[in-house]
Amino acid sequence: MITPERLKYLALGMLILLVAGIFIGGEAPGAGSLFPPPWDKVVHFFVFGTIGVLAGLAFLRLPLAAVWIIVVALGAADELHQLFIEGRQAGLDDLLADALGGLAALPVLALLRRWLGQYS
């Protein structure tokens, strides 16, 4: 049975894997051309929205604003990282998609936290 405590650890593990995948996979040849524009922005939105939900579940006591700041910081770190990878380029439009994905995740996260509160 998945208890709120187990869900917290599951979310943390998934968060670590997702963020590692972004940074490690982002260095693979051709990684920058996996999704052509404008679909790359949609991917940024959903991936960083997922990061927001996972971070908020892994750290249940973290305020929603702090979760969003973490999402934006990870998005900025990803864009900065791309500056040092041949064939990749950083973009403020990607960071905006990351930030909006994180923002869209907050109401979902609030509902999930409320639902989990019933079981703790």
pLDDT tens string 78-118: 999 999 999 888 999 999 999 999 999 999 999 999 998 87
**Distance of alpha carbon 52 from alpha carbon 99, whole angstroms:** 10
pTM of the model: 0.94
Category of 79 on φ-ψ map: left (φ > 0), alpha (ψ -120 to 50) or beta: alpha
Nearest to 67 by CA among 108, 6, 117: 108
pLDDT given at position 45: 98
